[in-house]
Chain A
Protein backbone atom coordinates (compact mmCIF):
# COMPACT_ATOMS: atom_id res chain seq x y z
CA UNK A 1 0.00 0.00 0.00
CA UNK A 2 0.94 3.66 -0.04
CA UNK A 3 3.33 4.83 2.59
CA UNK A 4 5.58 7.76 3.24
CA UNK A 5 8.35 7.32 5.71
CA UNK A 6 11.64 8.68 6.91
CA UNK A 7 14.90 6.82 7.13
CA UNK A 8 16.03 8.20 10.50
CA UNK A 9 13.87 9.17 13.46
CA UNK A 10 16.46 11.58 14.92
CA UNK A 11 19.23 13.73 13.55
CA UNK A 12 21.72 15.77 15.53
CA UNK A 13 23.87 18.40 13.83
CA UNK A 14 26.27 21.12 14.87
CA UNK A 15 25.15 24.72 14.51
CA UNK A 16 26.38 26.05 11.19
CA UNK A 17 26.56 22.65 9.52
CA UNK A 18 24.23 21.56 6.74
CA UNK A 19 21.41 19.14 7.56
CA UNK A 20 19.94 16.51 5.30
CA UNK A 21 16.63 14.89 6.17
CA UNK A 22 15.50 11.97 4.05
CA UNK A 23 12.14 10.57 3.07
CA UNK A 24 11.11 7.49 1.10
CA UNK A 25 7.76 7.13 -0.58
CA UNK A 26 6.12 4.15 -2.21
CA UNK A 27 3.46 5.60 -4.51
CA UNK A 28 5.20 6.34 -7.80
CA UNK A 29 2.05 8.09 -9.02
CA UNK A 30 2.20 10.83 -6.39
CA UNK A 31 2.35 14.27 -7.97
CA UNK A 32 3.28 16.58 -5.12
CA UNK A 33 5.47 16.42 -2.07
CA UNK A 34 5.59 18.83 0.82
CA UNK A 35 7.93 19.32 3.75
CA UNK A 36 6.52 20.53 7.05
CA UNK A 37 8.32 21.70 10.17
CA UNK A 38 6.75 21.18 13.57
CA UNK A 39 8.22 22.94 16.57
CA UNK A 40 7.43 21.78 20.05
CA UNK A 41 3.91 22.73 21.08
CA UNK A 42 2.94 24.00 17.65
CA UNK A 43 1.17 22.67 14.60
CA UNK A 44 3.08 21.71 11.44
CA UNK A 45 4.26 24.64 9.34
CA UNK A 46 4.69 24.49 5.56
CA UNK A 47 8.33 24.81 4.45
CA UNK A 48 8.59 23.94 0.78
CA UNK A 49 6.99 21.77 -1.85
CA UNK A 50 8.02 20.13 -5.08
CA UNK A 51 6.14 18.70 -8.03
CA UNK A 52 6.97 15.39 -9.62
CA UNK A 53 8.15 17.08 -12.84
CA UNK A 54 10.98 18.73 -10.91
CA UNK A 55 14.19 17.32 -9.44
CA UNK A 56 15.14 20.21 -7.23
CA UNK A 57 13.61 23.27 -5.69
CA UNK A 58 15.24 25.91 -3.53
CA UNK A 59 13.89 28.17 -0.89
CA UNK A 60 15.49 30.31 1.74
CA UNK A 61 18.25 28.13 3.21
CA UNK A 62 16.29 25.02 2.23
CA UNK A 63 16.50 22.79 -0.81
CA UNK A 64 14.29 19.84 -1.63
CA UNK A 65 15.56 17.10 -3.95
CA UNK A 66 13.34 14.54 -5.59
CA UNK A 67 14.68 11.31 -7.04
CA UNK A 68 11.79 9.59 -8.76
CA UNK A 69 13.91 6.63 -9.82
CA UNK A 70 14.36 5.45 -6.24
CA UNK A 71 11.31 7.26 -4.85
CA UNK A 72 13.34 9.36 -2.47
CA UNK A 73 12.86 12.88 -1.21
CA UNK A 74 15.29 14.93 0.84
CA UNK A 75 15.30 18.26 2.61
CA UNK A 76 18.59 20.09 2.90
CA UNK A 77 18.97 22.92 5.39
CA UNK A 78 22.00 25.13 4.92
CA UNK A 79 23.87 26.61 7.88
CA UNK A 80 21.58 24.97 10.43
CA UNK A 81 20.55 27.23 13.30
CA UNK A 82 19.15 26.47 16.75
CA UNK A 83 15.77 27.71 15.52
CA UNK A 84 15.74 24.87 13.02
CA UNK A 85 15.36 22.35 15.84
CA UNK A 86 12.02 20.68 15.21
CA UNK A 87 10.38 17.60 13.81
CA UNK A 88 10.30 17.54 10.02
CA UNK A 89 7.62 15.68 8.08
CA UNK A 90 7.43 14.88 4.44
CA UNK A 91 4.01 14.41 2.89
CA UNK A 92 2.71 13.33 -0.46
CA UNK A 93 -0.52 14.17 -2.15
CA UNK A 94 -2.74 11.13 -2.50
CA UNK A 95 -5.73 11.09 -4.78
CA UNK A 96 -7.33 8.20 -2.89
CA UNK A 97 -10.40 10.14 -1.91
CA UNK A 98 -11.71 10.62 -5.40
CA UNK A 99 -12.62 13.55 -7.61
CA UNK A 100 -10.14 16.31 -8.17
CA UNK A 101 -9.29 16.60 -4.50
CA UNK A 102 -6.41 14.91 -2.82
CA UNK A 103 -5.25 14.46 0.71
CA UNK A 104 -1.86 14.42 2.31
CA UNK A 105 -0.17 11.28 3.54
CA UNK A 106 2.42 12.15 6.14
CA UNK A 107 5.63 10.42 7.05
CA UNK A 108 6.33 9.76 10.70
CA UNK A 109 8.82 12.58 11.10
CA UNK A 110 12.50 13.16 11.87
CA UNK A 111 13.51 15.10 14.93
CA UNK A 112 16.32 17.52 14.17
CA UNK A 113 18.42 18.71 17.10
CA UNK A 114 20.95 21.48 16.61
CA UNK A 115 23.91 21.57 18.97
CA UNK A 116 25.37 25.00 19.76
Chain B
Protein backbone atom coordinates (compact mmCIF):
# COMPACT_ATOMS: atom_id res chain seq x y z
CA UNK B 1 0.00 0.00 0.00
CA UNK B 2 1.05 3.54 -0.69
CA UNK B 3 1.95 5.42 2.41
CA UNK B 4 2.12 9.18 2.63
CA UNK B 5 3.13 10.57 5.99
CA UNK B 6 3.16 14.11 7.29
CA UNK B 7 5.42 15.25 10.08
CA UNK B 8 2.75 16.63 12.38
CA UNK B 9 -0.98 16.12 12.83
CA UNK B 10 -1.45 19.34 14.78
CA UNK B 11 0.73 22.43 14.87
CA UNK B 12 0.33 25.79 16.58
CA UNK B 13 2.53 28.70 15.54
CA UNK B 14 2.66 32.44 16.09
CA UNK B 15 2.30 35.13 13.46
CA UNK B 16 5.61 35.82 11.76
CA UNK B 17 7.18 32.46 12.53
CA UNK B 18 8.73 30.35 9.80
CA UNK B 19 6.90 27.05 9.51
CA UNK B 20 8.02 23.82 7.88
CA UNK B 21 5.58 21.07 6.96
CA UNK B 22 7.18 17.82 5.88
CA UNK B 23 5.74 15.09 3.70
CA UNK B 24 7.27 11.73 2.88
CA UNK B 25 6.02 9.02 0.52
CA UNK B 26 7.41 5.50 0.31
CA UNK B 27 6.29 4.41 -3.17
CA UNK B 28 8.88 6.09 -5.36
CA UNK B 29 6.26 8.42 -6.82
CA UNK B 30 7.36 11.12 -9.20
CA UNK B 31 4.70 13.68 -8.34
CA UNK B 32 4.02 15.32 -5.02
CA UNK B 33 1.45 17.95 -4.14
CA UNK B 34 0.54 20.31 -1.32
CA UNK B 35 -3.07 21.38 -0.79
CA UNK B 36 -4.88 23.35 1.84
CA UNK B 37 -8.40 22.48 2.82
CA UNK B 38 -10.81 25.04 4.25
CA UNK B 39 -14.52 24.76 5.05
CA UNK B 40 -16.63 25.79 2.10
CA UNK B 41 -13.62 26.08 -0.19
CA UNK B 42 -12.61 22.45 -0.64
CA UNK B 43 -9.06 21.47 -1.56
CA UNK B 44 -6.91 24.09 -3.20
CA UNK B 45 -3.56 23.34 -4.78
CA UNK B 46 -0.65 25.33 -3.39
CA UNK B 47 2.39 23.85 -5.09
CA UNK B 48 3.36 20.65 -6.80
CA UNK B 49 6.49 18.94 -8.00
CA UNK B 50 7.06 16.52 -10.86
CA UNK B 51 10.69 15.79 -10.09
CA UNK B 52 13.45 16.37 -7.62
CA UNK B 53 14.39 20.04 -7.37
CA UNK B 54 11.44 20.95 -9.55
CA UNK B 55 8.41 22.93 -8.43
CA UNK B 56 5.37 24.47 -10.01
CA UNK B 57 2.88 26.94 -8.59
CA UNK B 58 -0.64 25.78 -8.02
CA UNK B 59 -3.71 27.94 -7.57
CA UNK B 60 -2.73 29.70 -4.34
CA UNK B 61 1.08 29.83 -3.98
CA UNK B 62 1.28 33.26 -2.34
CA UNK B 63 2.88 33.14 1.08
CA UNK B 64 4.27 29.65 0.54
CA UNK B 65 7.37 28.04 -0.87
CA UNK B 66 8.39 24.41 -1.31
CA UNK B 67 11.48 22.28 -1.42
CA UNK B 68 12.09 18.90 -3.00
CA UNK B 69 15.67 17.84 -2.46
CA UNK B 70 14.90 14.13 -2.45
CA UNK B 71 12.32 12.21 -4.43
CA UNK B 72 10.47 10.92 -1.39
CA UNK B 73 10.26 14.19 0.49
CA UNK B 74 8.33 17.37 -0.26
CA UNK B 75 8.40 20.27 2.17
CA UNK B 76 5.99 23.19 2.41
CA UNK B 77 7.40 26.37 3.93
CA UNK B 78 5.52 29.31 5.33
CA UNK B 79 8.18 32.03 5.36
CA UNK B 80 6.25 34.27 7.76
CA UNK B 81 3.09 32.65 9.04
CA UNK B 82 -0.09 34.69 9.11
CA UNK B 83 -3.47 34.01 10.68
CA UNK B 84 -5.09 33.50 7.27
CA UNK B 85 -2.84 30.50 6.81
CA UNK B 86 -4.63 28.65 9.58
CA UNK B 87 -5.90 25.59 7.74
CA UNK B 88 -5.66 21.86 7.17
CA UNK B 89 -2.69 21.07 4.93
CA UNK B 90 -2.74 17.90 2.87
CA UNK B 91 0.13 16.33 1.03
CA UNK B 92 -0.40 13.91 -1.85
CA UNK B 93 1.71 11.88 -4.21
CA UNK B 94 1.10 10.12 -7.51
CA UNK B 95 3.01 7.78 -9.74
CA UNK B 96 3.56 10.38 -12.43
CA UNK B 97 2.01 9.03 -15.59
CA UNK B 98 -0.88 10.93 -17.06
CA UNK B 99 -1.37 10.04 -20.68
CA UNK B 100 -3.58 7.86 -22.75
CA UNK B 101 -5.68 5.51 -20.72
CA UNK B 102 -3.87 5.82 -17.44
CA UNK B 103 -5.39 7.85 -14.65
CA UNK B 104 -2.80 9.15 -12.22
CA UNK B 105 -4.43 8.67 -8.84
CA UNK B 106 -3.27 10.88 -6.03
CA UNK B 107 -2.73 9.34 -2.60
CA UNK B 108 -3.10 11.59 0.39
CA UNK B 109 -1.46 11.85 3.77
CA UNK B 110 -3.47 12.30 6.98
CA UNK B 111 -3.11 16.07 6.99
CA UNK B 112 -1.60 18.67 9.30
CA UNK B 113 -3.95 21.03 11.04
CA UNK B 114 -2.04 24.30 11.43
CA UNK B 115 -3.22 27.09 13.68
CA UNK B 116 -1.49 30.46 13.47
CA UNK B 117 -2.13 32.71 16.46
Q: Answer yes or no: are A and B bound together in one complex.
A: yes
Q: Give residues 97-116 of A contacting B (CB, 8 Å).
A: 97, 100-104, 106-109
Contact B42 A104 (CB under 8 A): no
Which residue of the partner chain B has the closest CB to A45? B108
Does B80 count as interface, using CB distance less than 8 angstroms? no
Report the stretch among A11-19, A36-44, A60-68, A71-79 that lies at the interface. A36-44
Contact A41 B56 (CB under 8 A): no
Contact A100 B107 (CB under 8 A): no
When distances are taken between beta carbons in the complex, the residues of chain B under 8 Å from A36 are 108
Contact B103 A103 (CB under 8 A): no
Does A20 count as interface, using CB distance less than 8 angstroms? no
Does B110 count as interface, using CB distance less than 8 angstroms? yes
When distances are taken between beta carbons in the complex, the residues of chain A under 8 Å from B110 are 41-43
When distances are taken between beta carbons in the complex, the residues of chain A under 8 Å from B48 are 97, 103
Contact B106 A107 (CB under 8 A): no
Summed over the interface, the residue pairs from A and B with CB atoms below 8 Å come to a total of 54
Contact A108 B111 (CB under 8 A): no
Contact B108 A49 (CB under 8 A): no
Contact B42 A106 (CB under 8 A): yes
Which residue of the partner chain B has the closest CB to A97? B56
When distances are taken between beta carbons in the complex, the residues of chain B under 8 Å from A24 are none
Given A42-B110, A100-B99, A102-B98, A107 and B105 contact (CB-CB distance below 8 Å): no
In the assembled complex, the Cα of A102 lies from the Cα of B111 at a distance in Å of 22
When distances are taken between beta carbons in the complex, the residues of chain B under 8 Å from A106 are 42-44
Question: Can you pick out 10 interface pairs between chain A and chain B where the beta carbons lie within 8 Å of each other?
Answer: A43-B90, A43-B108, A43-B109, A45-B108, A46-B107, A93-B98, A97-B48, A100-B99, A103-B45, A109-B42
Interface residues of B (CB under 8 A from A): 4, 31, 33, 40-45, 48, 50, 56, 58, 90, 92, 98-99, 101, 103-111
Interface residues of A (CB under 8 A from B): 32, 34, 36, 41-46, 49, 51, 89, 93, 97, 100-104, 106-109
Sorted from nearest, which 6 A-B pairs have the closest CB atoms? A43-B108, A108-B42, A106-B43, A44-B108, A106-B42, A32-B103
